Amino acid sequence: MPKLWTDTIETHRREVRDAVLDTTAGLIAENGLVAVTMSRVAEGAGIGRATLYKYFGDVASILLACHERQIVSHLKQLVDARDKAGDAVQRLHVVLERYALITNESRGHHDNELAASMHLGPHVNVAAQHLRLFIQQLLSDAIGTGTVRDDVPPEELASYCLHALNAASGLRTKAAVRRLVAVTLSGLQPTTTSRYN
């Protein structure tokens, strides 16, 4: 099969898949999970139900794909934030702030309903592990510069940061989120205690 034909087919498949996921996200945002049916998704995506079934076997598989895409988008935002920052401390700060803002922006949205329904999927565990290691590396880099405490192992500090910043989901303003980030960062300040055992 010619490459151009293959690229065109793959592009078309990706566009259909994106249309299905965009439609599903829109239905969830407007009316919650109850609004997601195969008929409504197919209609909103501008495809027939038979075509939809070629891509997704049921609503659950669409919701899973939607949630996976959302997680990938959030992780990409964190990587982008890190890559735009300067030194190790700045990278840590902007990533923690971006994470807290993402957590806060999900507050009260129907996305929470989607996340809860998909929470036990294996993709969630993989993403959580990736996030923890990502934060842990940022902390290790900052510890290496002497700007973050070295009396607690980086993996424990990563847990501290993630648990603390998950509280952003209950905050009402971005200013409150930024104060939470500042408090979290203050807990990372170097101490006179010796390095962890």
State how far the Cα of 122 lies from the Cα of 127, in Å rounded to an integer. 9
Do 189 and 145 meet the contact criterion of CB atoms below 8 Å apart?
Answer: no
Domain with CATH 1.10.357.10 in the chain: 68-192
The one-letter amino acid code at 150 reads: D
Per-residue pLDDT of 72-128, as tens digits, reads 999 999 999 999 999 999 999 999 999 999 999 876 554 555 555 555 567 778 888
pTM of the model as a whole:
0.79
Task: Give CATH superfamily name and number for 68-192.
Answer: Tetracycline Repressor, domain 2 (1.10.357.10)
Structure confidence at residue 167 (pLDDT): 95
CA distances from 74 to 12, 43, 70, 102, 155 (A): 25, 28, 6, 7, 21
Measured from the Cβ of residue 38, the count of other Cβ atoms closer than 10 Å reads: 15
Cβ-contact 44, 36 below 8 angstroms: no
Q: Which fold has domain 1-57?
A: Arc Repressor Mutant, subunit A (1.10.10)
Q: Where in the chain is the domain with CATH 1.10.10.60?
A: 1-57
**pLDDT, tens digit, 9 for 90 and up, residues 127-166:** 889 999 999 999 999 999 999 999 999 999 999 999 999 9
